[in-house]
Amino acid sequence: MSKSQSLPDSVDATLQLLNSHGYFAERSLATVLYLSLRLGRPLFLEGEAGVGKTEIAKVLSATLGRKLIRLQCYEGLDVASAVYEWNSAAQMIAIRLAEAAGDSDREQLSSDIFSERYLIKRPLLQALEPDVGGAPVLLIDELDRADEAFEAYLLEILSDFQVTIPELGTFKAPQPPIVIVTSNRTREIHDALKRRCLYHWVDYPSAERELAIVKSRVPGISATLSQQVVRFVQELRDQDFYKNPGVAETIDWATALTQLDARALTAEVVGDTLGALLKYQDDIAKMQSGTMEKVLKEATSDI
Ligand SMILES: Nc1ncnc2c1ncn2[C@@H]1O[C@H](COP(=O)(O)OP(=O)(O)OP(=O)(O)O)[C@@H](O)[C@H]1O
Ligand SMILES: [Mg+2]
C-alpha cells in the first residue's frame, strides 16, 4: 500500500486526486466527498447500477493510501458476519486442553477463552482499529440488501464509532474511519441513517465525462470508436429499456469492440456484441426490432 496522504484541501484538489487515479467525477460529487472528508461524516451514495459508487471507495483508499475495509451487505447479514464472533471451535479446544491438563481455575479459563485471541474480527470491528496508515476507508456496499434490523445496528456504530463486546469491553476508533455507504435503492434507507450521512445521487456521466472514462479505461481505442460508443450508449439511455447500461457496461463494450479490432460501429459488429451492453432478453429483442438502426444512425452521424 502507498504511504498515507493528507486529505485534499479544496474541491478542486479532490477532483484532481480522483482524476489522477482514473476516476472522473462530476463537480457535485467531488464537493460532497470533500465535505464528507473534512467534516468526518459518512457519505451515502445512491444511484443506478454501474455508475461508479463502489469504485469511489476503492479510488479513495488508493489515493489516500488508506486500508480499504469492505462490508458487502446481503439479506440475513448479522452481527456475527459484520462485527465479530467468538471462535467457538478454538475455545472448545482450549477448554478440552485445560481439562486434560487438570487445570481447575474456572475463572482464569473463562477470561482466557474470552480474550482477543479467540475473537474473530469482522469488517465493522476491523474498521475501528488503529492503523499506522491512518483511519481506513470503510465501504458499506449495497446497504439496501441488508435487513432493517441490521441498519438499526449500523446506526449505532456510525454515531459513536464504537462497539461493545459484553465479555471483553468497548472498542472505540481512535480516529473515525472514512465511511462510504452505497445503495441501489431497491428499498428506501431509513431517515435516521441518512441523517448521519451526507447524501449524493450518482447519475450517469455526461457524454464528455464518459468519453474521458472510456479513453482512460480502454487504452488503444480509436478516437472515432470511443466517440461512437459513448454517443450510442448515451442515446440508448433515452430509450426506456428495462435496464439501462451503466458505465461498467460502456467500458466492457468498448473493450469487447477493441478486442474484435473494430475501428467504427457497424450494424453487424453492434449486433454481435450486444451481450456486453444489455443483459435482459427483452431489451436485446427491442434493440433487434428497429431501435438499433435508429440509435446507430444517431451515434455515427458526422463523425
Ligand atoms: N466516474 C468514473 N470514472 C472512472 N471509472 C468509472 C466511473 N464510474 C464508473 N466507473 C467504472 O465503472 C465500473 C463500475 O463501477 P462500480 O462498480 O463502482 O459501479 P456501482 O455504482 O458500484 O455499481 P453496482 O450498483 O452495480 O454495484 C468500474 O469499473 C469503474 O471503474
Ligand atoms: Mg457497487
Q: Give the pLDDT mean for 191-207.
A: 95
296 and 269 within one domain: yes
Query: In this structure, is residue 2 part of a structural domain?
Result: no
CATH number of the domain that 61 lies in? 3.40.50.300
**Cα 155 to ligand 1 centroid, rounded to whole Å:** 26
Q: What mean pLDDT comes out for the span 49-72?
A: 96
Asked if residue 222 has pLDDT above 90, the reply is yes
- pLDDT band per the 50, 70, 90 thresholds, residue 208: very high
Residue 65's alpha-carbon distances to 129, 147, 209, in angstroms, are 16, 32, 25
d(CA 28, CA 112): 52
Q: Are residues 127 and 23 in the same domain?
A: yes
In this prediction, residue 255 carries a pLDDT of 97
DSSP strand pairing (84-86 vs 162-165): unpaired
User: Domain ends where: 145, 171, 202?
Assistant: 202
Identify whether residues 52 and 132 lie together within a single domain: yes
Gap from CA of 219 to ligand 2 centroid (Å): 23
Same domain, 193 and 263: no
Q: In this structure, what are the phi and psi dihedrals at residue 94, rounded to the nearest 5 degrees?
A: -60, -40
Q: Check if the beta carbon of residue 243 is closer than 8 Å to that of residue 284.
A: no
Is 269 a domain residue? yes
Tell me what the mean pLDDT of segment 153-175 comes to: 91
Q: Are residues 111 and 134 in the same domain?
A: no
pLDDT at 2 over 60: no
Residue 4 belongs to some domain of the structure: no
Statement to judge: residues 223 and 132 lie in one domain: no
Average pLDDT across the chain, whole number: 93
In a domain, 1, yes or no: no
pLDDT for 288: 86
CA–CA separation, 171 and 11 (whole Å)? 33
* Residue that finishes a domain, picked among 171, 202, 233: 202
By the 10 Å C-beta count (0-12 exposed, 13-18 middle, 19+ buried), 248 is classed as middle
Distance from Cα 23 to the centre of ligand 1, integer Å = 9
Question: Are the C-beta atoms of residues 219 and 243 closer than 8 Å to each other?
Answer: no
Assigned domain for 5 exists: no
Nearest by Cα to 40 from 141, 182, 174 = 174
Residue 126 domain flag? yes
Residues 76 and 95 in one domain: no
243 in the same domain as 107: no
Identify the pLDDT of residue 1: 46
For the residues 119-131, what does the mean pLDDT come to?
94
- Ligand 1 neighbourhood includes 22 CB (under 6 angstroms): yes
Instruction: Tell the residue number behind the cell numbers 435496464, with chain if given.
Output: 243
Task: State whether 186 and 175 are in the same domain.
Answer: yes
- First-last CA distance in the chain: 43
CB of 55 sitting under 6 A from ligand 1: yes
What share of the chain in percent tops pLDDT 90?
Answer: 82
Phi, psi at residue 178, to the nearest 5°? Answer: -85, 115
Structural domain of 211? 207-300
Percent of the chain residues topping a pLDDT of 70? 98
Nearest CA to ligand 1 atom 8: 52
pLDDT at 303 over 70: no
Boundary of a domain, candidates 117, 134, 164: 117
Cβ contact 66:178 at 8 Å: yes
Model confidence at 210: pLDDT above 90: yes
What average pLDDT does the segment 114-142 reach?
94
Residues 197 and 54 in one domain: yes
pLDDT of 58 strictly over 60:
yes
C-alpha cell at 4: 498515507
Please state the domain count of the chain: 3
Is 263 in the same domain as 283?
yes
pLDDT at 34: 98
Per-residue pLDDT tens digits for 3-32: 667 899 999 999 999 999 999 999 999 999
The whole-angstrom separation of Cα 97 and Cα 107 is 16
pLDDT at position 7 is 92
